[in-house]
Amino acid sequence: MNPPKIIHRGRFAPSPTGRMHLGNVYCALLSYLSVKSKGGVWVLRIEDLDPQRSKPDFAKWIEDDLQWLGLDWDEGGSKGGTYAPYYQSQRTDYYASLFEKIGQQTYPCFCRRADLLAASAPHASDGRVLYAGTCRGLSSDEIMHRIVTQMPAYRLCLPHQEVSFVDGLYGYQSIDLQDFYGDFVLRRADGTYAYQLAVAADDAAMHITEVVRGNDLLSSTPAQLYLYKLLGLQAPSFTHVPLLMSSKSGERLSKRDGSLSMEALRLQGVKPEQIWGMLAHKIGLLRQEEPISAKDLIPLYDVNKLPKENIVVYSE
Protein backbone atom coordinates (compact mmCIF):
# COMPACT_ATOMS: atom_id res chain seq x y z
CA MET A 1 0.00 0.00 0.00
CA ASN A 2 1.27 3.49 -0.83
CA PRO A 3 1.83 5.87 2.12
CA PRO A 4 -0.73 8.70 2.29
CA LYS A 5 0.18 11.58 0.02
CA ILE A 6 1.34 14.74 1.81
CA ILE A 7 -0.38 17.87 0.59
CA HIS A 8 2.26 20.58 0.64
CA ARG A 9 0.88 23.99 1.52
CA GLY A 10 2.89 27.21 1.45
CA ARG A 11 1.80 30.79 1.88
CA PHE A 12 2.62 34.38 1.13
CA ALA A 13 1.55 36.62 3.99
CA PRO A 14 2.02 40.28 3.07
CA SER A 15 0.96 43.21 5.24
CA PRO A 16 -1.05 45.68 3.14
CA THR A 17 0.76 48.79 4.36
CA GLY A 18 1.89 50.04 0.95
CA ARG A 19 2.34 49.00 -2.66
CA MET A 20 4.66 45.98 -2.96
CA HIS A 21 8.29 46.49 -3.99
CA LEU A 22 10.82 44.18 -5.54
CA GLY A 23 11.75 42.73 -2.12
CA ASN A 24 8.15 41.70 -1.45
CA VAL A 25 7.63 40.07 -4.84
CA TYR A 26 10.93 38.26 -4.47
CA CYS A 27 9.69 36.72 -1.18
CA ALA A 28 6.41 35.88 -2.88
CA LEU A 29 8.28 34.17 -5.71
CA LEU A 30 10.37 32.01 -3.39
CA SER A 31 7.43 30.78 -1.33
CA TYR A 32 5.56 30.09 -4.59
CA LEU A 33 8.46 28.20 -6.19
CA SER A 34 9.18 26.19 -3.07
CA VAL A 35 5.67 24.81 -2.72
CA LYS A 36 4.91 24.56 -6.44
CA SER A 37 8.09 22.55 -7.03
CA LYS A 38 6.52 19.96 -4.69
CA GLY A 39 3.18 20.11 -6.51
CA GLY A 40 1.57 21.93 -3.59
CA VAL A 41 -0.93 24.67 -2.89
CA TRP A 42 0.02 28.34 -2.56
CA VAL A 43 -2.08 30.42 -0.18
CA LEU A 44 -2.39 34.21 0.03
CA ARG A 45 -3.05 35.56 3.52
CA ILE A 46 -3.47 39.28 4.04
CA GLU A 47 -1.85 40.29 7.35
CA ASP A 48 -3.88 43.41 8.06
CA LEU A 49 -3.63 43.08 11.84
CA ASP A 50 -2.57 46.64 12.40
CA PRO A 51 -5.68 48.76 11.81
CA GLN A 52 -3.69 52.01 11.68
CA ARG A 53 -1.22 50.97 8.98
CA SER A 54 -3.22 48.50 6.86
CA LYS A 55 -5.39 49.74 4.00
CA PRO A 56 -7.85 47.67 1.94
CA ASP A 57 -6.63 49.45 -1.21
CA PHE A 58 -3.16 48.06 -0.69
CA ALA A 59 -4.58 44.53 -0.30
CA LYS A 60 -6.25 45.03 -3.70
CA TRP A 61 -2.99 46.22 -5.21
CA ILE A 62 -1.18 43.16 -3.84
CA GLU A 63 -3.62 40.92 -5.74
CA ASP A 64 -3.40 43.06 -8.86
CA ASP A 65 0.41 42.97 -8.82
CA LEU A 66 0.54 39.21 -8.15
CA GLN A 67 -1.80 38.62 -11.09
CA TRP A 68 0.25 40.87 -13.34
CA LEU A 69 3.39 38.99 -12.28
CA GLY A 70 1.82 35.63 -13.12
CA LEU A 71 1.96 34.39 -9.53
CA ASP A 72 -1.38 32.61 -9.34
CA TRP A 73 -2.42 31.74 -5.83
CA ASP A 74 -4.73 28.79 -5.27
CA GLU A 75 -6.70 30.10 -2.33
CA GLY A 76 -6.90 33.09 -0.06
CA GLY A 77 -7.25 36.83 -0.34
CA SER A 78 -10.46 37.80 -2.10
CA LYS A 79 -10.60 34.36 -3.76
CA GLY A 80 -11.45 32.77 -0.41
CA GLY A 81 -11.23 29.02 0.12
CA THR A 82 -11.69 26.27 2.69
CA TYR A 83 -10.01 28.13 5.54
CA ALA A 84 -11.54 31.58 4.95
CA PRO A 85 -11.36 34.32 6.00
CA TYR A 86 -7.83 34.98 4.76
CA TYR A 87 -7.72 38.52 6.16
CA GLN A 88 -6.29 38.66 9.67
CA SER A 89 -8.55 41.61 10.54
CA GLN A 90 -11.49 39.18 10.25
CA ARG A 91 -10.00 36.45 12.44
CA THR A 92 -10.02 38.19 15.82
CA ASP A 93 -12.48 35.75 17.47
CA TYR A 94 -10.20 32.88 16.61
CA TYR A 95 -7.14 34.63 18.09
CA ALA A 96 -9.20 35.46 21.18
CA SER A 97 -10.09 31.78 21.67
CA LEU A 98 -6.43 30.76 21.49
CA PHE A 99 -5.38 33.61 23.74
CA GLU A 100 -7.89 32.40 26.32
CA LYS A 101 -6.48 28.90 26.10
CA ILE A 102 -3.07 30.11 27.33
CA GLY A 103 -4.42 32.93 29.50
CA GLN A 104 -2.92 31.33 32.64
CA GLN A 105 0.53 31.96 31.25
CA THR A 106 -0.02 35.61 30.48
CA TYR A 107 -0.13 38.65 32.74
CA PRO A 108 -1.46 42.18 32.31
CA CYS A 109 1.17 44.82 31.73
CA PHE A 110 0.45 48.48 32.37
CA CYS A 111 3.82 49.84 31.28
CA ARG A 112 3.57 52.55 28.67
CA ARG A 113 6.07 52.96 25.90
CA ALA A 114 7.89 55.72 27.78
CA ASP A 115 8.12 53.54 30.94
CA LEU A 116 9.59 50.71 28.91
CA LEU A 117 12.30 52.89 27.48
CA ALA A 118 13.03 54.60 30.78
CA ALA A 119 13.26 51.36 32.80
CA SER A 120 16.76 49.98 33.11
CA ALA A 121 15.72 47.02 31.02
CA PRO A 122 18.18 44.29 30.11
CA HIS A 123 19.59 44.30 26.60
CA ALA A 124 19.87 41.38 24.24
CA SER A 125 23.27 40.68 22.69
CA ASP A 126 22.27 42.65 19.58
CA GLY A 127 21.24 45.71 21.59
CA ARG A 128 17.45 45.20 21.59
CA VAL A 129 15.80 46.33 24.82
CA LEU A 130 14.14 43.39 26.56
CA TYR A 131 11.15 43.78 28.85
CA ALA A 132 12.39 43.96 32.42
CA GLY A 133 9.40 42.03 33.82
CA THR A 134 8.09 45.07 35.76
CA CYS A 135 4.45 43.90 35.80
CA ARG A 136 5.13 40.19 36.23
CA GLY A 137 4.66 40.27 39.97
CA LEU A 138 1.64 42.60 40.35
CA SER A 139 -0.85 41.44 43.00
CA SER A 140 -4.45 40.83 41.97
CA ASP A 141 -5.50 43.83 44.10
CA GLU A 142 -3.11 46.05 42.25
CA ILE A 143 -4.32 44.74 38.90
CA MET A 144 -7.97 45.36 39.84
CA HIS A 145 -7.09 48.85 40.98
CA ARG A 146 -5.22 49.79 37.81
CA ILE A 147 -7.48 48.10 35.28
CA VAL A 148 -10.26 50.55 36.14
CA THR A 149 -8.37 53.42 34.55
CA GLN A 150 -6.06 51.74 32.06
CA MET A 151 -6.42 48.89 29.58
CA PRO A 152 -3.36 46.67 29.92
CA ALA A 153 -1.43 44.76 27.30
CA TYR A 154 -0.95 41.04 28.01
CA ARG A 155 2.49 39.44 28.00
CA LEU A 156 3.44 35.81 27.83
CA CYS A 157 5.55 34.50 30.73
CA LEU A 158 8.54 32.92 29.08
CA PRO A 159 10.74 30.34 30.79
CA HIS A 160 14.48 30.01 30.40
CA GLN A 161 14.20 27.29 27.80
CA GLU A 162 16.21 26.51 24.67
CA VAL A 163 14.15 26.27 21.51
CA SER A 164 15.88 24.88 18.46
CA PHE A 165 14.96 24.09 14.89
CA VAL A 166 16.64 23.33 11.59
CA ASP A 167 16.12 26.04 9.00
CA GLY A 168 15.82 24.88 5.39
CA LEU A 169 18.64 27.21 4.32
CA TYR A 170 20.47 28.44 7.43
CA GLY A 171 20.57 25.08 9.25
CA TYR A 172 20.51 24.52 13.02
CA GLN A 173 19.27 27.43 15.15
CA SER A 174 18.86 27.58 18.90
CA ILE A 175 18.04 30.32 21.43
CA ASP A 176 17.01 30.71 25.07
CA LEU A 177 13.46 32.11 25.01
CA GLN A 178 13.71 34.39 28.04
CA ASP A 179 17.19 35.72 27.20
CA PHE A 180 16.29 36.37 23.60
CA TYR A 181 12.78 37.86 23.79
CA GLY A 182 11.95 38.72 27.38
CA ASP A 183 8.20 38.30 28.04
CA PHE A 184 6.66 39.41 24.75
CA VAL A 185 3.24 40.96 24.18
CA LEU A 186 0.46 38.67 22.94
CA ARG A 187 -2.35 41.20 23.08
CA ARG A 188 -1.89 44.92 22.90
CA ALA A 189 -3.69 47.43 25.12
CA ASP A 190 -5.96 48.37 22.19
CA GLY A 191 -7.16 44.75 22.01
CA THR A 192 -5.31 43.76 18.82
CA TYR A 193 -3.39 40.50 18.88
CA ALA A 194 0.35 40.41 18.28
CA TYR A 195 1.94 39.20 15.07
CA GLN A 196 3.55 36.18 16.80
CA LEU A 197 0.22 34.81 17.99
CA ALA A 198 -1.72 35.57 14.80
CA VAL A 199 0.87 34.12 12.44
CA ALA A 200 1.27 30.84 14.34
CA ALA A 201 -2.50 30.55 14.81
CA ASP A 202 -3.18 31.12 11.12
CA ASP A 203 -0.43 28.93 9.71
CA ALA A 204 -1.81 26.09 11.84
CA ALA A 205 -5.48 26.77 10.99
CA MET A 206 -4.69 26.98 7.27
CA HIS A 207 -2.71 23.71 7.42
CA ILE A 208 0.45 25.38 6.16
CA THR A 209 3.23 22.78 5.94
CA GLU A 210 6.08 25.11 4.98
CA VAL A 211 6.92 28.72 5.69
CA VAL A 212 9.35 30.39 3.30
CA ARG A 213 10.06 34.04 4.17
CA GLY A 214 12.78 36.65 4.58
CA ASN A 215 15.65 36.07 7.01
CA ASP A 216 14.56 39.15 8.96
CA LEU A 217 11.97 36.80 10.52
CA LEU A 218 14.43 34.03 11.37
CA SER A 219 14.60 35.28 14.95
CA SER A 220 10.78 35.17 15.29
CA THR A 221 10.63 31.47 14.59
CA PRO A 222 11.54 30.13 18.06
CA ALA A 223 8.80 32.34 19.59
CA GLN A 224 6.33 30.92 17.11
CA LEU A 225 7.51 27.36 17.73
CA TYR A 226 7.00 27.88 21.45
CA LEU A 227 3.45 29.12 20.79
CA TYR A 228 2.69 26.09 18.61
CA LYS A 229 3.75 23.88 21.49
CA LEU A 230 1.75 25.77 24.11
CA LEU A 231 -1.34 25.73 21.92
CA GLY A 232 -0.95 22.08 20.94
CA LEU A 233 -0.75 23.00 17.23
CA GLN A 234 1.26 21.39 14.44
CA ALA A 235 4.20 23.57 13.34
CA PRO A 236 5.25 23.90 9.68
CA SER A 237 8.84 23.66 8.45
CA PHE A 238 10.75 26.94 8.12
CA THR A 239 13.08 28.19 5.42
CA HIS A 240 14.36 31.74 5.61
CA VAL A 241 15.79 33.35 2.52
CA PRO A 242 18.34 36.15 2.07
CA LEU A 243 16.93 39.65 1.75
CA LEU A 244 17.24 42.05 -1.14
CA MET A 245 19.33 45.05 -0.14
CA SER A 246 19.24 48.48 -1.71
CA SER A 247 22.42 49.69 -3.43
CA LYS A 248 21.28 53.21 -2.53
CA SER A 249 20.86 52.89 1.24
CA GLY A 250 22.75 49.68 1.97
CA GLU A 251 19.67 48.57 3.93
CA ARG A 252 17.00 46.05 3.04
CA LEU A 253 14.73 47.22 0.25
CA SER A 254 11.86 49.33 1.46
CA LYS A 255 9.28 51.82 0.31
CA ARG A 256 12.06 54.44 0.20
CA ASP A 257 13.48 52.65 -2.85
CA GLY A 258 10.75 54.13 -4.97
CA SER A 259 12.32 53.06 -8.26
CA LEU A 260 11.77 49.41 -7.30
CA SER A 261 8.14 49.72 -6.24
CA MET A 262 5.70 47.76 -8.35
CA GLU A 263 4.10 51.01 -9.35
CA ALA A 264 7.35 52.40 -10.78
CA LEU A 265 8.36 49.12 -12.42
CA ARG A 266 5.00 48.75 -14.16
CA LEU A 267 4.96 52.38 -15.25
CA GLN A 268 8.47 52.03 -16.70
CA GLY A 269 7.18 49.20 -18.90
CA VAL A 270 9.28 46.48 -17.25
CA LYS A 271 7.87 43.00 -18.00
CA PRO A 272 7.30 40.32 -15.34
CA GLU A 273 9.64 37.95 -17.24
CA GLN A 274 12.45 40.51 -16.95
CA ILE A 275 11.91 40.80 -13.20
CA TRP A 276 11.97 37.02 -12.74
CA GLY A 277 14.97 36.61 -15.04
CA MET A 278 16.98 39.16 -13.05
CA LEU A 279 16.01 37.68 -9.67
CA ALA A 280 16.46 34.06 -10.76
CA HIS A 281 19.96 34.88 -11.95
CA LYS A 282 20.82 36.61 -8.66
CA ILE A 283 19.69 33.61 -6.60
CA GLY A 284 21.48 31.03 -8.69
CA LEU A 285 18.50 29.47 -10.51
CA LEU A 286 19.56 30.80 -13.93
CA ARG A 287 23.13 30.94 -15.21
CA GLN A 288 22.38 33.99 -17.29
CA GLU A 289 19.90 36.76 -16.89
CA GLU A 290 17.17 36.00 -19.42
CA PRO A 291 13.41 36.57 -19.46
CA ILE A 292 11.44 33.73 -17.90
CA SER A 293 7.97 33.28 -16.41
CA ALA A 294 7.36 32.32 -12.78
CA LYS A 295 5.81 29.03 -13.96
CA ASP A 296 8.89 28.12 -15.98
CA LEU A 297 11.06 28.66 -12.92
CA ILE A 298 9.21 25.98 -10.93
CA PRO A 299 11.23 23.00 -12.23
CA LEU A 300 14.48 24.99 -11.76
CA TYR A 301 13.91 25.70 -8.08
CA ASP A 302 16.43 24.17 -5.68
CA VAL A 303 16.86 25.57 -2.18
CA ASN A 304 20.48 24.39 -2.16
CA LYS A 305 21.31 26.83 -4.94
CA LEU A 306 20.20 29.87 -2.93
CA PRO A 307 22.91 32.11 -1.46
CA LYS A 308 22.88 32.69 2.29
CA GLU A 309 24.15 36.26 2.09
CA ASN A 310 21.78 39.10 1.40
CA ILE A 311 21.62 40.24 -2.22
CA VAL A 312 22.27 43.81 -3.38
CA VAL A 313 20.05 45.17 -6.13
CA TYR A 314 20.46 48.46 -7.93
CA SER A 315 18.15 51.15 -6.68
CA GLU A 316 18.08 54.87 -7.47
User: 152 or 220, CB closer to ligand GLU?
Assistant: 220
Among 21, 25, 47, 165, binds ligand GLU (CB under 6 A): 47
Does 34 bind ligand GLU (CB under 6 A)? Our answer is no
Does 168 bind ligand GLU (CB under 6 A)? Our answer is no
Residue 26's nearest CA partner among 288, 214, 219 is: 214
The answer to whether 69 touches 272, Cβ cutoff 8 Å, is: yes
Does 14 bind ligand GLU (CB under 6 A)? Our answer is yes
User: 111 or 220, CB closer to ligand GLU?
Assistant: 220
Does 13 bind ligand GLU (CB under 6 A)? Our answer is yes
Return the range that interacts with ligand GLU (CB under 6 A); candidates 11-19, 58-66, 104-112, 162-170. Answer: 11-19
User: 183 or 203, CB closer to ligand GLU?
Assistant: 203
Smallest distance, ligand GLU to C-beta of residue 14, A: 5
Residue 228 zone, left/alpha/beta (φ > 0; ψ -120 to 50; rest): alpha
Does 298 bind ligand GLU (CB under 6 A)? Our answer is no
How far is the C-alpha of 224 from the C-alpha of 203, rounded, in Å?
10
User: 246 or 286, CB closer to ligand GLU?
Assistant: 246
Smallest distance, ligand GLU to C-beta of residue 118, A: 29
Check the CA dihedral 201-72-252-300 and report its sign: positive
Does 239 bind ligand GLU (CB under 6 A)? Our answer is no
Does 213 bind ligand GLU (CB under 6 A)? Our answer is yes
Does 202 bind ligand GLU (CB under 6 A)? Our answer is no
Q: Phi first, then psi: give them for residue 135, nearest 5 degrees.
A: -95, 5
**In the complex, which residues of this chain contact ligand GLU (CB under 6 A)?**
13-15, 47, 199, 213, 217
